[in-house]
Chain A
Amino acid sequence: MNNEKSKIFKVDRRTFLKTTSITTTGLLLGMQFSCSSTTKKLSGDPTANFSPSVYLNINGTGEVTIIAHRSEMGTGIRTSLPLVLGDELEVDWKQVKVVQAVGDAKYGDQNTDGSYSVRMFYPIMRKAGATARMMLEQAAANEWKVDVSQVKAKDHGVVNENGDVLGFGYLADKAAQLEVPDESSLKLKSPDDFKFIGKKTSIVDLEDIVTGKAIFGLDTKVEGAKVAIIRRPPVPGGKLKSYNADAALQVPGVLKVFTIDSPDFPLQLHRPLGGVVVVADNTWSAIKGRDALKVEWDKGVNGKYDSVNYVESMMKRAKADGTVKREQGSAGSELAKASQKVEADYRVHHLSHTPMETPCAIANFKDEKVEIWAPTQEPQWARAAVRGTLGLKEENVTVNVTLLGGGFGRKSKPDFVVEAAMVSKESGFPIKLLWTREDDVQHDFYHANCAQHISAGIDDSGKVNAWLHRTVFPSIGSTSTSDANQPSGAELSQGVLDFPYDVPNVSCQTNEAHAQVRVGWLRSVANINHAFAVGCTLDEIAEKRGVDPAQNLIDMLGADRNIDLDSMSTEFWNYEESLEEYPWSTARFKNVIEQVKSMSGWGKAMPAGSGMGIAAHRSFLTYVACVVEVEVKDGRVKIPKAYYAVDCGVAVNPERIKAQFEGGAVFGTSIALKSKITVRQGAVEQSNFHDYQVARMNESPMETEVFIVQSNEKPTGVGEPPVPPFAPALCNAVYKATGKRIRELPISL
């Protein structure tokens, strides 16, 4: 052990001297070069703690604890953000313990959603690491009585030019006594010196996961916990008419049956739907108990909702003049006189999130306090919702965040956490609340169904000179307020208002739509619908223009520029960022298109029944281009290979970025080929994976290749951006293979 350490430090000392001797010769004057007499003090007072920020603690033994305050649902964020802090701090990653934060405002934003964890916290984590590093360096300089410029943090310690080492543990109590440096004096590392950022690091939970030890939502052991399952109203907004629990209470193991009131409209994102609760000793008794309930429901105002018909009624409005949200030139009159036109209508149906782990939570209510363990994407919201519902003091609500068995936006909404807390309070037991898969499929916050009409005009010279895009879909806002009758600017900026192509006459419009199920956000949200319609239409335009589809995208983008979308639409939304900070760069967009072309061998000959398709889409500030290869046989689509080129600025953990794209391709495959929620008489028709299908291994891409553009631009998210361009690229490939244009998802051939 000791030998190993000294080996490491010897190497470090040499490299350190090499770099400093070139750049700071003066500093080396008077230095003692004495290899044999270096000293090394690694640890200090074991009870000492140095905690210069809420995200970090270093104790006297040298153990570095980094707080993961964002939720882990498979993106690797629980590893990547601590890694950013650790890189600035110069830790030995093996000596770092990552601890998950409870929900608490002191950590800043914990809403793990919208692909912004890295975007928002990359600079914050770097500064937190740099602050601690500089304080440790100062503490070491004080100890050696030298200027701080003569020491340097390296591998979990601070070294001087002599090769002496003071470990972080040894320095912890000394650094803790120093003043925290001002933010303006922080010196961040040069990207050239990054140790972890931009390199591969495995996730911290890897071994626990493959050995079955990782703790998900219902895996925490809580003494005396009982299991609860709820029968919820089949129609959202419906209410209980009557119920009989006699048979349920006969099931051995069933302990209690009681009701939770169903809310009035609007249903809200945090409120339980209400219903009849069965509490039992174990899950099976609870399931059997619920099956034995006799319940009658009043369906309420949504009892007639038919989602397939509703798409048709939205389509009528998509084909009529709507509310104009972006307008340049005069698309209407140009279309009327265009020499060639491409016109198409697109339909997308409701989708369900179906994370592999259904919504679930453990709650232990006792003496006006509640402790919760939940796979939540938003522990602060869960905490606030529980506090508000149960009328508790904030400090009496603790929300521990477990690993999430997938989230995709579903587990941002804290309704299931509130349920667990309510049931624990009412029953008097610690409660493990389980949503069965049927509950999950039938009572989700669904992806909005959508109707779109696009009309594009091509002039005599073959240039696209008019673009009319109308989209109609129920807004997520309508789940929370009764007056959100049209999509919001933010929803429209996901593939409509942000139309980046250089077309002189553009009109983007929308129209009225009403949510009759709970509508929520699903991985990449409205981008799913819009990227599909736009991506497929552009492919048709290419054909009309007689040019290659990839070249068509490049042609239509026009000259390299940052697009001033703010001036084009008052409602344009840049994912909460300004265009100054995060411009819409056609050059970066073009680059990913070029990259995906070359990596995929775009244009190569394909056998009959096969085809390649391309689509590109910027979402969540990340630029993505995608090529999909398909083979279509007997109406079955096989996907031998998918290709992605992505520009997400600085790539923090490239291996996990690749994984997000591989997974995004599968998520996109589900959307394109498999998944569809339909509602009849107000109730969801599907119930489990036999009728709500998601892509399995044999239906997913056999291979997915990902190219990440090397960049020093600010990092942007990768959780959602892989999804939008996948379905249109696939549809365009299916067209090449079959000659059939796809205008509705999921594809039916």
Chain B
Amino acid sequence: MGTFKMNLNGDQVEVEALDDTPLLWVLRDHLGMTGTKYGCGKALCGACTVHLDGTPVRSCSIQISSVEGKNVTTIEGISKTELHPVQKAWIAEDVPQCGYCQSGQIMSAVALLSNTPNPTDEDIETAMSGNICRCGTYVRIRRAIKRAAKGGAS
């Protein structure tokens, strides 16, 4: 057990947890932030994707002890005042089906576009192939990323 501090979506938070607790469960169980989802627990599906100091990571496979003092951004943190352009593009393209994978998809897409503002199809596939969508919304995810890249939501 230990006490860990991190900056979560701009707020300083402190949690008590087993050192090896994955960030995913700290977010969901300890902090009640349920936007981040469990899909595999083994860094295989991307449902749990969050940003750690701006880099997309699988929160199911990052221990809380290694998050100490870092900045964590979750789906709840990317649109404090208004929707993020990626979220707007997701709405414009009606991307989600069941929606379960979409927090992770959006977090991966936001990271992609902040590093690569004009991604090619190949860039998109490289950045997004770690995120499984069992409903199969890939063609719309691709379209939404391109739309967000062009800066157009509608």
Contacts and interface: CB of A to CB of B under 8 A. Distances in A.
Interface of A: 72-76, 200, 202-203, 205-207, 209-216, 218-219, 221, 227, 252-253, 282-285, 287-288, 354-358, 403-408, 434, 436-437, 655, 659-660, 662-667, 669, 688-690, 694-698, 700-704
A71 to B, nearest CB: 10
Contact of A210 (B41, B106, B130): B106
B75 A403 contact: no
7 contacts: A202-B94, A210-B96, A252-B1, A253-B18, A355-B98, A655-B94, A698-B126
Nearest to B121: A702
Contact of A357 (B22, B37, B87): B37
A205 B90 CA distance: 13
Contacts of A695: 136
A285 B25 CA distance: 10
B133 interface: yes
B94 A696 contact: no
For B28, B40, B47, B121, which residue has the most chain A Cβ atoms within 10 angstroms? B40
Interface residues of B, number: 61
B4 interface: no
Interface string B74-112: 111001000100010011001111111111001000000
Contact of A285 (B18, B79, B128): B18
Interface in B29-75: 29-30, 32, 34-42, 44-45, 47, 74-75
A662 to B, nearest CB: 5
A662 B138 CA distance: 8
Contacts of A669: 136
B42 A662 contact: no
A434 B87 CA distance: 29
A437 B136 contact: no
B121 A209 contact: no
A375 to B, nearest CB: 9
A212 B35 contact: yes
Contacts of A219: 34
Contacts of B101: 356, 405
A211 B125 CA distance: 23
* 6 A-B pairs closest in CB distance: A212-B35, A666-B136, A405-B100, A74-B98, A74-B97, A663-B136
A18 to B, nearest CB: 31
Interface in B107-154: 121, 124-126, 128-142
A74 B94 contact: no
B135 A406 contact: yes
A266 to B, nearest CB: 29
Given A212-B35, A406-B135, A700-B136, A283 B100 contact: no
B138 A252 contact: no
For B25, B39, B44, B75, which residue has the most chain A Cβ atoms within 10 angstroms? B39
A633 to B, nearest CB: 15
Contact of A209 (B30, B99, B138, B139): B99
B132 A356 contact: yes
Contact of A697 (B37, B106, B142): B142
A219 B75 CA distance: 14
B21 interface: yes
Nearest to A215: B34
Contacts of A213: 35, 76
